[in-house]
Structure 1
Amino acid sequence: MKPQKNRLHRSAWVVSVNMGYGHERAAFGLRDLAYGGIITANDYPQIPKHDKKLWADSRKLYEAVSRLKPLPIIGDIAFEIMDRIQRIDPFYPQRDLSQPTAQVMQTYYMIEKLGLGKHLIEKLSDKPLPLICTFFIPAFAAEVYDYPGDIYLVICDADMSRAWVARDPKKSRIKYFAPNGRVAERLKLYGIRPENIYLTGFPLPKEVIGGANADMIKKDLMARLCHLDPNKIFLNKYIKTLEAELGSSSCRFNNNKQPTLTFTVGGAGAQRALGAQIIKSLKHNLQREEITLRMEAGTKGDVARFFTDRIKNSGLTKMLGKNIFVDHEPDRASYFHNFTKRLRKTDILWTKPSEMSFYTGIGLPIVMAPSIGSQEVFNRVWLKMVGGGVTQGDPRYTNEWLFDWIESGGLARMAWNGYIEAPTHGAYRIESIITGEKIELEKLPLIV
């Protein structure tokens, strides 16, 4: 079956997987394009039991290993084995990396021999809209099973392993949306033709951006800078630059509101122990109402209960709902919607360097927890390169170093750097490519 060519559409099939939050977070940013809503490839209506089991087994392995990671010895060994399979080779010296890896061949075995994804692709082929995938298996399956529309794949990290590229990259018709310059260049090493690579930026949700002019980002950033620079060290030094970019009418520097720190736990529920250390260290600061703390448990009820228990055991029960919040949602759709709203009121984001690294683009300084996986090591490098994040200090002394970073204006500087250097309008660029509607945006810098 010949694929359609150069046809423009008002909508697309947007396909994700619910393994962790990263792939669904990318899809959430593209939901305006999603015909009939976002499709979850491993949990959609009428999914064959065989497919569901294959997906479930791989998800259980991912989450189990992620939760084991903090454990000494056994956690390191288990994760090292899994991470070695998915590792990202050094970029330099630049060389041909198009040869498929064992993981790629295993993926194609599941698709071609076990039929993974065939049912979904045949179902979507009845209405051959552009197919946008945020995970590689549905994209590979679409190509194997002759999906008649265009196939796109969104890369969700600041660098990528060979696993994300088809077995025969030079012949593949899959098109890639790259979140940054490093990924765009990496795709070429993997053998992808330049015409199949689009440098778009990660698809951040439009609710935190505010159109082509980023009106919402600018408004939120100005307020955030006020909260993060109480001594006006950064603000006074760069006042003319800030007013030129954000608007003089927004410079309300007398805002003494306490900063809001949001700590997030990934989809696998790992790193909850780190959250407990943060609560313990900030106890007296919270009692003095010097900071607001939001503990994001996502959809994990056990993590929410864990945080709530730690707060109560720390003698902070009275502060719950006042300047300490445990945020937990009943389902993933509610989580992405409500978490996005809460981000606008967040001043500091403490998270592992996952796809959340790209949110520094909205002017969020990111405190980076330990990485889980090779791709997060590369996300950490990228985030430091754009100047929007910093590796966490010893969590036992959060009450000391975090406030030093606030008092010195250091976190305000990171917020500004993230806004200036990191891409923000990925969702708009992807939408423009699919629909053909032009939008005036600055050309992305090739930050590698």
Structure 2
Amino acid sequence: MSQKNSAASHSHNTNAWVVTVNMGYGHMRAAYPLRELTDGHYIVANDYEGIPNKDRKAWQRSREFYEAVSRMARMPVAGKPIFFLLDKWQEIPDFYPRRDLAEATFQVRQLYKLFEKGFLRHLIDKFKKKPMPVVCTFYLPALAAEYFGYKGDIYCVLCDTDIARIWAPMNPKKTRIKYFAPNRRVAERLKLYGVPEKNIYLTGFPLPKELVGGLEHEILKRDLAARVVNLDPKEQYTRNFGPSVCKLLGIPRLPRPNHPLTLTFAVGGAGAQREMVVSILRSLKEKLFAGELRLILVAGSRSDVLTHFRGAIRRSGLDGLPERSLSVIYAPDRNEYFRRFNAALHTTDVLWTKPSELSFFAGLGIPIIIAPAIGSQEDFNASWLRNLGAGIPQEAPEHVDQWLWDWLASGWLARAAVAGFVGGVKRGTYRIEEIIAHRERHLPEPIEPV
């Protein structure tokens, strides 16, 4: 796979080590917009050139566990109790009442026992040969860098709207790790875990620059203008709020529709919720043949999900549809998958997905249909989306041909798109780059409630 990078392969223009893990899509998706800090590559901590076998095996067990837990959530009888117990093990404690949560948990102590045995030392030693800031989108490399005495700056990008204690080190009050919080709740949570306030930056999630378009959001605003028109066919929303939307986007009037209504359905990195596709296809069959909708199915980089999607399309009698009506995004290379997915989002009107890191893409003005959450973090993400007004929990997939068009007719989705743009954080990538480069900071913290 092309993300398999030698730690020594970075060019002289590299400004930082960007480190991620191949475990689902979330941590890699956070690293992808930050690749400009490197020579265009990032280090995959569990799959890089020269990784010791003992480290690879430890990572493999962890990844298999993660994917098994995700699959258990889909098992209606036997899997549910097991998944509940495993999720309870990594549960995020209640935020209120505010209290000191700095004491290391059992999970943190177990992790440091792995460090004592040398886990990840090889990776950190490679970084020491060319000291630069280390930017991690997963907690393990960041904690290891500090444990093994890395002298350069250590940064950690967080990928959910609330986090477990495992993200903070054994002795958080003395940590050198600096954290990039995607929202205010995470920033406040880190303080409860004992991380000094000076080590916490409220930046927002790093969204792809190609979907934002600079500090003035030029591309985002163009895409959102076209999206609002598609999402409000009866002008229930724009009749009253169209002038405000135009002022917000800096345009004299809303444009005419320039693409068909487009729904994008994305499954997670473990392939969870792929089973919903058969119901969705059968429900939307008439709409697709009538040209009322374009449907994009996102298989990511998993060939098994691609095979499942193709089989579902065939069984639903839709294999004869042209790509302009029904298409599948798949690429075995993760970077290529992210590139294709981001390109499709320009004309995506609604994103249907579980509340993963893609929840933050609501800040791009894309309303989210919230599929069932898998795990504590995603429960918090779903709640954040609902509070923002940018996400709506799904109804029964087999009736999407009814409820989705009811939502369109009411203007509800247009309202959600604008709410995400107004309340979501859009300039996270730019803030992160500014901080790592130690440049004078021109971007203020985003305004967001706890």
Whether these two folds match at TM > 0.5 is: yes
Alignment of 1:369-408 (within 5 A): 369-408=371-410
Q: How many Å separate the matches in 1 of 2:354 and 2:449?
A: 21
Alignment TM-score, normalising by the size of structure 1? 0.95
Sequence identity, in percent? 49
Shift of 1:408: 1.1
Give unmatched runs, 5+ long, in structure 1: 1-8
Counterpart pick for 2:419 among 402, 414, 417: 417
**Residue among 125, 128, 131 paired with 1:125:** 128
Q: Distance in 2 between matches of 1:209 and 1:110?
A: 40
- Aligned residue in 2 for 1:75: 79
Aligned to 2:70: 66
Whole-angstrom distance in 1 between the partners of 2:128 and 2:253:
50
Do 1:363 and 1:415's aligned partners in 2 also have CA atoms closer than 8 Å? Answer: yes
Aligned AA (2:51): I
Per the TM alignment, residue 439 of structure 1 is displaced from its structure 2 partner at its CA by 6.0
What letter is aligned with 2:96?
A: Y
Asked whether the equivalents of residues 432 and 439 of structure 1 are also in contact (C-alpha less than 8 Å), the reply is: yes
Q: 1:364 to 1:420 in 2, by over 3 A?
A: same
Q: 1:297 aligns with which of 287, 294, 299?
A: 299
TM-superposition CA deviations, 1:352-392 (whole Å, max 9, x none)? 00000000000000000000010000001111111110110
Instruction: Tell me if structure 1 keeps the 8 A contact 2:435–2:441.
Output: no
Matched with 1:334 is 336
Q: Which moved more, 1:149-158 or 1:98-107?
A: 98-107
Q: Aligned pair 1:95/2:106, yes or no?
A: no
Match of 2:19 among 6, 9, 15: 15
Question: In structure 2, which of residues 238, 242, 249 is the aligned counterpart of residue 239 of structure 1?
Answer: 242
Corresponding letter in the other structure for 1:111: F
Which segments of 5 or more consecutive residues in structure 2 lack a partner in the other structure?
1-12
Aligned length: 438
Match of 2:185 among 171, 182, 186: 182
For 2:253 and 2:114, locate their aligned partners in 1 and report how far apart those are by CA, in whole Å.
55
Amino acid at match of 2:299: A
Cα distance in 2, alignment partners of residues 441 and 251 from structure 1: 29
Partner in structure 2 of residue 4 of structure 1: none
Alpha-carbon offset, residue 248 of structure 1: 2.7
Q: Please give the per-residue CA displacement for 1:262-318, whole angstroms capped at 9, x wherever unaligned.
A: 000110011111122111111111111111100000011121121111112112122
**1:166 to 1:345, Cα distance in 2 relative to 1, 3 A:** same
SS in 1 for 2:239: helix
Deviation per CA, 1:119-156: give whole Å up to 9, x if none.
00001011110111011111111011000101111110
- Asked if structure 1 preserves the Cα contact closer than 8 Å seen for 2:100 and 2:194, the reply is yes
**Equivalent residue in structure 2 for 1:343, among 342, 345, 351:** 345
Opposite residue 179 of structure 2, the aligned amino acid is Y
Q: Aligned-pair distance for 1:443?
A: 3.4
Deviation sequence 1:407-432 (CA, Å, 0-9, x none): 11110000000000010111100000
User: For residues 447 and 158 of structure 1, what CA distance do their matches in structure 2 show?
Assistant: 12
Q: Which residue of 2 aligns with 1:3?
A: none
* Kept in 2: contact 1:13–1:35 (CA 8 A): no
Structure 1 partner of 2:60? 56
- Return the alpha-carbon distance in structure 1 between the equivalents of residues 40 and 130 of structure 2: 12
Aligned ranges for residues 16-35 of structure 1 at < 5 Å? 16-35=20-39
Query: SS where residue 135 of structure 2 aligns?
Result: strand
Given that 2:14 and 2:38 are in contact with CA atoms closer than 8 Å, whether structure 1 keeps it comes out as no
Give the 3 Å change call, closer, same or farther, for CA 38–445 of structure 1 in structure 2. same
Q: 1:227: which partner in 2? A: 230
CA gap of 1:225–1:123, structure 2 versus 1, over 3 A, is: same
2:215 equivalent to 1:212: yes
Q: Give the match's secondary structure for 1:32.
A: helix
